Structure 1
Amino acid sequence: MKCIAGLGNPGRKYAQTRHNIGFITIDELLHRNQWKLEKEKFHGLYTIGHMNGEKVLLLKPLTFMNASGEAIRPLLDYYEIAPQDLLVIYDDLDLPAGKVRLRQKGGHGGHNGVRSTIDQLKTKEFNRLRIGIGRPSNAMPVVDYVLGKFHKEELPDVVNGIKRAADACEAWMQTPFSQVMNEYNQ
């Protein structure tokens, strides 16, 4: 079984914010497969289904962003999913809005949700899918920017990025991650 965890903050207040692009991508996958997040365990809301012939667990941690790993690790342990079969989807300030980048391992790059996941898993060896949210163009504090909603002019790129990210997730169900990286990082 594989696990796709979209990072974000629970609650209506954060629903369509930049920091919740991981949750929004999980919503896209749920919509495509006509699934619902019907299970709750270990501070996570999730479902298990089959996508392109592969059993997959889709997860939204309910711990808030900075403690995401506290929901991811117990579910991986419970379902005996190796970190190499995990894909974490999250926002990236250093990529233009909607740009998608995949990596097989690495550091947290300043992202607290990824930092928590690394700390909990005790490894940096898990797959990542970053979706660009861009940087604030003015003196707005980063925390206000990431917890803000997308601007109208960004939405076409963001929607395309979410769809491309969901396509990459689906491709990973039947293709080695390194090949998915080669295709979707172009």
Structure 2
Amino acid sequence: MKLIVGLGNPGAKYDGTRHNVGFDVVDAVARRLNIEIKQSKANGLYGEGRIDGEKIFLLKPQTFMNRSGESVRPFLEYYNMEVEDLLVIYDDLDLPVGKIRLRQKGSAGGHNGMKSLIAHLGTSDFKRIRVGVDRPAPGETVVQHVLGRYRPEEKDAISEAIDLSAEAAEAFTKKPFLEVMNTFN
């Protein structure tokens, strides 16, 4: 079994914001794999499917970003899954819009959703895809930036990054992650 988690905030007012790019990628994976995300468990919306006989779960925690671990850990426990089966997708201020970076493990890097995951899972050794949303513009706070929408000139780049991240997430279900990293980094 594999679990692909996209981090974001629930509710229509957050749709299309930088902070919700994890949700956007999971939605793109769902379209690619023809999985409907409409079931509820562990404070999250999820869908399930199969690839080459292996069960795949897609999860969008509904706990708000800063409490994502409160959804992911119970979901893993319910299905008796290991952290090695987990891939987390989230926004990253330190990467330019449109850039993605895959890692096998790492720190939270100041990201509160990742801090919550690390605290609840008791480890930072889980796979992740960081999707660049760039730094705030001068005079813009981090909160304004991540809860804001993309500028028109960024839309093509973020759309491509979402598609590429979805492709990488699908590859995670089929290949060793080191191979996936070598392909997509």
TM-score class, shorter-chain normalisation, is over 0.9
Q: Which residue of the partner structure matches residue 109 of structure 1? A: 109
Where does 1:129-140 land on structure 2 (aligned, <5 Å)?
129-140=129-140
Q: How many Å apart are 1:34 and its aligned residue?
A: 2.4
Where does 1:8-23 land on structure 2 (aligned, <5 Å)?
8-23=8-23
Q: How many Å apart are 1:38 and its aligned residue?
A: 2.3
Q: Which residue of the partner structure matches residue 146 of structure 1? A: 146
Deviations 1:135-170 (A, max 9, x none): 122210010000000011001110000000011011
Q: Which residue of the partner structure matches residue 42 of structure 2? A: 42
Q: Which residue of the partner structure matches residue 30 of structure 1? A: 30
What's the secondary structure of 1:16's corresponding residue? coil
Q: How many Å apart are 1:117 and its aligned residue?
A: 0.4
Q: Which amino acid aligns with 2:47?
A: T
1:80 pairs with 2:85: no
Q: How many Å apart are 1:42 and its aligned residue?
A: 1.2
Once residues 67 and 20 of structure 2 are traced to their aligned partners in structure 1, the CA distance between those partners, rounded to angstroms, is 14
1:125 pairs with 2:125: yes
Deviations 1:86-110 (A, max 9, x none): 0000000000101010101111000
Q: Which residue of the partner structure matches residue 177 of structure 2? A: 177
Q: How many Å apart are 1:32 and its aligned residue?
A: 1.7
Normalising by structure 1, report the TM-score: 0.97
Coordinate RMSD, CA, aligned: 0.9
Q: Which residue of the partner structure matches residue 6 of structure 1? A: 6
Once residues 184 and 54 of structure 1 are traced to their aligned partners in structure 2, the CA distance between those partners, rounded to angstroms, is 22
CA contact (8 A) 1:54 1:174 kept: no
What's the secondary structure of 1:24's corresponding residue? helix
Once residues 31 and 15 of structure 1 are traced to their aligned partners in structure 2, the CA distance between those partners, rounded to angstroms, is 17
Q: Which amino acid aligns with 2:75?
A: L
What's the secondary structure of 1:139's corresponding residue? coil
What's the secondary structure of 2:4's corresponding residue? strand
Once residues 74 and 116 of structure 1 are traced to their aligned partners in structure 2, the CA distance between those partners, rounded to angstroms, is 13
Query: Mind listing any 5+ residue stretches in structure 1 that lack a counterpart?
Result: none
Q: How many Å apart are 1:84 and its aligned residue?
A: 1.0
Q: Rate the CA distance shift 1:173–1:14 in 2: closer, same or farther, 3 A.
A: same
Normalising by structure 2, report the TM-score: 0.97
CA contact (8 A) 1:53 1:174 kept: no
Query: Mind listing any 5+ residue stretches in structure 2 that lack a counterpart?
Result: none
Deviations 1:69-128 (A, max 9, x none): 000000000101110110000000000101010101111000000100000000111101
Q: Which amino acid aligns with 1:111?
A: H
Name the % identity. 52
Q: How many Å apart are 1:63 and its aligned residue?
A: 0.1
Once residues 180 and 53 of structure 2 are traced to their aligned partners in structure 1, the CA distance between those partners, rounded to angstroms, is 16
Q: How many Å apart are 1:174 and its aligned residue?
A: 1.3
